[in-house]
Amino acid sequence: MIKLLAFCLAGAFVSSSALAQEKTLNLYSSRHYQTDEALYTGFTRKTGIRIHRIEAPEDALIERLRNEGAASPADVLVTVDAGRLWRAEQAGLFQAVRSAELERRIPAHLRHPDGLWFGFSTRARVIVFNKVAVKPGEIRSYEDLAAPKWKRKVCMRSSSSIYNLSLGAALVAHLGEPKTEDWARGVAANFARSPKGGDTDQIRAVAAGECALTIANTYYYARLARSQKPDERDAVAKTGVVWPNQDARGTHINISGAGVLKHAPHRSEAIRFLEYLASDEAQRYFADGNNEYPAVATTKTDNPALAALGTFKPDTLNVSTLGRNQPAAQKVYDRAGWR
């Protein structure tokens, strides 16, 4: 399948000789949001640098980059979740970048310590509850999801979901493997059904009363809140959101991020693109277009769904830890019987 993908996309980039007269950036992206078009056009408008891009699932892009090696035309890899950035990092695909602008704009906990990649937007993993089944203040932390009182009341997606792997990785960092396994075992004992579906499916199940609690990324919840479909807005009306662990370490967050590739033929243009993603204009696109939180905290946005969720204390664990701890998190989930 990877070879077929490579064959089909082989002509996606114009030859280097044809582009000799213009500034160019070659982008590989696993983000699939239509609103990202504004990012690309905004960058070209400001810099005159044209973007040629390939969009595909992250595993396919990583494999493609491995196969291309030093001959790769790609300058930048953009993907979602620190765990996926870690996988690309482990494959040796990134080169270190030192940029005073990026270091000034992007908080240290949202970027790789050695500058291999940077987070440009965040999403929080929150607890979503059914307003009829759960009273305000009845649940306050991720750890509370394992309490016996919630037996047969919790819906979850698979433990192999990278979002749950990153949450588990954060818990391993904070609690250690034994306590994280105890937590995972308790959550699995509380399942109302076998894990299935994505975050939106979990929110719908809670709204329908199939279960009382779940966890989901904020941008899925905000997307439903801004939907033109009455049934999706109704799902939000029937549910509420808890910001977990506000009295301690804060709510788990993850990122969408990017890095300059090891063999980037247009390194300076690639760095300019990363710096553009940290600009006020691009940061507003992430928030207003795709319901993500800006990595640059001072960014002013006009997203009513995010505003309605209010403010929260985020976990400031460096997100590079999330990828590093994911293998341990998967083993914990497997031992706990959370499939």
CA-atom Rg of the chain in angstroms:
20
- Distance between CA 309 and CA 304 in Å, rounded? 9
Residue 14's pLDDT is what?
45
Residue 58's pLDDT is what?
92
Per residue in 305-323, pLDDT (tens digit) is 999 999 999 999 999 999 9
- Distance between CA 293 and CA 296 in Å, rounded? 9
- E strand or H helix that includes residue 186: helix 177-189
> What average pLDDT does the structure give for the chain?
93
Per residue in 83-132, pLDDT (tens digit) is 999 999 999 999 999 999 999 999 999 999 999 999 999 999 999 999 99
At residue 201, the 3 state secondary structure works out as helix
Residue 281 is which amino acid? E
**Beta strand 118-130 with 239-242: parallel, antiparallel or unpaired?**
antiparallel
At residue 89, the 3 state secondary structure works out as helix
Per residue in 328-339, pLDDT (tens digit) is 999 999 999 999
Residue 21's pLDDT is what?
57
Per residue in 240-256, pLDDT (tens digit) is 999 999 999 999 999 99
Domains and CATH numbers, the chain: 2-121+255-302 (3.40.190.10), 123-251+320-336 (3.40.190.10)
> What separation in angstroms does the CA of 125 have from each of 56, 219, 221?
25, 9, 10
CA atoms within a 13 Å half-sphere pointing along the CA-CB vector of 294: 22
Per residue in 64-87, pLDDT (tens digit) is 999 999 999 999 999 999 999 999
Nearest to 250 by CA among 313, 302, 182: 313
What is the reported pTM?
Answer: 0.91
Which residue, chain included where needed, has tokens 């031992």? 335
Is 9's pLDDT higher than 60?
A: no
